[in-house]
Every structure is written in C-alpha cells, then in structure tokens.
Structure 1
C-alpha cells in the first residue's frame, strides 16, 4: 500500500482502447511538468508510424526519454515531488526485457521495478496492454509473454493506489485509494 505517497496509477487496456490518450490527459491534468518515458524500439516502418502519431499528440514541452531496459533506474533518477512521469508502455518494456540482449534476467528487472515503486516521490502513470483477456496463445513464447504481463500487472496493481481499465475510450476505475 502506498499511503501518504503521490499517486501512482496503472492504466490498462487492449490495443486501440484509448489507454494512452487517457493517460496523457491525466498527465496534462496534473498541472505538473511531465516526463514521458517511451519504452518502444523502432524496428520497422509500421512502428515508426505509431511513434510519430504518439509524438504528434504529445505537448511539445514534455520531456521525452527513450528507455528500453533501465526503467527502474530512470524512474528513480527523474521522479520528483513536483513532476509527473508517464511511462508508455510496460508491455513493450516487458518485451525488451524478455527478448532483448541483456545480461540481466526478467526476474531481476521485475523485482527492481516493484521495489522502485516504494521509492518514487512524484506522480507516475504506467500504461500497459491488457493482453490476458483473449484466448490462450498457442505458442510457448506467446504464453510466457501473456503470463508474465499478467503477473506484472497484478504485482503493480497490489502496490499502487490507482488502477484504471480503459475500454472503447472509457476509463473504468478498478482501484482508487486516497492518500492519507
């Protein structure tokens, strides 16, 4: 539980659910300087186009940091009581950690992120894809990804004070604990 801590929110939703737009509105509404942490790696033209669309809808004054793996460290370095960090998205970060070329294993990355949540003095909004609502994937790698995403979401949701599910552009509050 994060009592007496700034709001840390997990925003979940499927592809094209409106989760990123919702999270960006929340960040703007904070009235604080926003730091946008992008976790995507552009490997093809389709992904480049997705990135361009996201860039076009973000305010120019937002500081954008691209971080593929060291998310916990970057959060600790940048989080301040008077700012808002928007991380988009955790499932891309999970992909980078699981399938990238790193000497650190996923369990270590996950443990580091979860322990970091308790240390962050500023507002943080995590965006992530809810991938576990469909059928069980046929391939072993796909099943591992869906399992790890689900376990990551559960672990984060247990530690943060706000969880929102976005479906068809509509936010549904799953958890909201007031500070105090």
Structure 2
C-alpha cells in the first residue's frame, strides 16, 4: 500500500497538504487522524481544537503521543486511510520520556511497511535552521534528522513543502 512522508518547516503548509492527500484517496470514507500532540497548555489545547474542527466529520482521532506504531496498526484496522501528525512531536514525547529511540524508530518503520491502508505521515524538517545552542537542542535536531531519513527510506513517496508548495522528493 502507498505511504507518504510530508516534510516541511513550521507553517509551511505540510499538514494541510497531508490532509488533502488523505482526503483524496479514492473511495476512502473513514479517515483516521493519529495525533501525537498533547494538550499541555491552553495554546496547544486551542490549536488541537482548531485542527479537529478543520478536519470535519469524515475524520476520527486516535491519540498516540508515544505508542505510534501501535496506533498505526490499530487505525489501519478501522480506517480507509490514515494520517499521522506529527513525527516531530512524537520524537519530542519520546525524548521527554527518556526511552531508547532507535527501537521506537524501527518499530515505526515496521508499522509503516506493513500498513495495509494508505498512510501519510507529517514531520518537521528541523535541520535547515541555525545550530541549536544547547546539547539537548542539538540532540533533538540530530535525532529528528535520523528519524526523517529512516522514515523516508521506508515510505513509497516523500514530499517537501515550502511556502505551501509541494516538491516531490521520492
């Protein structure tokens, strides 16, 4: 089945593009949005509510802040197509939980490869900016780059979005 990684910077249009890809899947009536964000403050709570409203009634939401591989497996049993938004927040959640990252990355890639439904994943490309000035910031940037490379090697398609314009990478 097809899988697509949609990469881009903050406010690049990547999530909008990814949602449009999923909504355009022929015959897909039941769509599942796998959310990795956690509403830990009022601003994030409002952002999550706005995104839910924007998606409309075809969508159901599955929250998977850390158990993403399991979330994909579950969603693929329930949905015609699946959207994961976003891998970067998932990575942040894993790092805050202080878990070993590579086994999580490997499990995610196995779930992507075995997903029987169209799957679109969103991630931030964080390596285009300045070098972070803290060890944690540099580790996060490096791990995000590793995660994006591993996922890009696993998916069938990859797209980079800048200024709302998609550029096909793979």
Same fold, TM-score > 0.5, yes or no: yes
Large movers: runs of 4+ above 6 Å: none
Counterpart of 2:106 (choices 92, 97, 111) is 111
Whether 2:8 is the aligned partner of 1:13: answer yes
More helix, by proportion: 2
Instruction: Determine the C-alpha separation between the residues in 1 that align with 2:62 and 2:113.
Output: 22
Whether 2:136 is the aligned partner of 1:141: answer yes
Instruction: Determine the C-alpha separation between the residues in 1 that align with 2:83 and 2:68.
Output: 12
1:16-42, CA deviations, whole angstroms, 9 ceiling, x for partnerless residues? 000111111111111412100000011
Instruction: Determine the C-alpha separation between the residues in 1 that align with 2:140 and 2:128.
Output: 13
1:83-106, CA deviations, whole angstroms, 9 ceiling, x for partnerless residues? 110000000000011112x6x422
Task: Report if the CA contact (8 A) 2:32-2:79 is conserved.
Answer: no
Q: If the length of structure 2 is used for normalisation, what is the TM-score?
A: 0.93
Of 117-126 and 84-93, deviating more is 117-126
Instruction: Determine the C-alpha separation between the residues in 1 that align with 2:56 and 2:86.
Output: 18
Long gaps (5+) in structure 1:
1-5, 176-180
Q: What are the equivalent positions in structure 2 for 1:149-168 lying under 5 Å apart?
A: 149-168=144-163
- Aligned length in residues: 168
Instruction: Determine the C-alpha separation between the residues in 2 that align with 1:82 and 1:20.
Output: 19
Residue 80 of structure 1, CA deviation: 4.6
Instruction: Determine the C-alpha separation between the residues in 2 that align with 1:140 and 1:82.
Output: 40
Residue 81 of structure 1, CA deviation: 10
Instruction: Determine the C-alpha separation between the residues in 2 that align with 1:10 and 1:81.
Output: 21
Instruction: Determine the C-alpha separation between the residues in 1 that align with 2:115 and 2:11.
Output: 29
Task: Report if the CA contact (8 A) 2:34-2:84 is conserved.
Answer: yes
Partner of 1:121: 116
Task: Report if the CA contact (8 A) 1:164-1:171 is conserved.
Answer: yes
Instruction: Determine the C-alpha separation between the residues in 2 that align with 1:18 and 1:150.
Output: 20
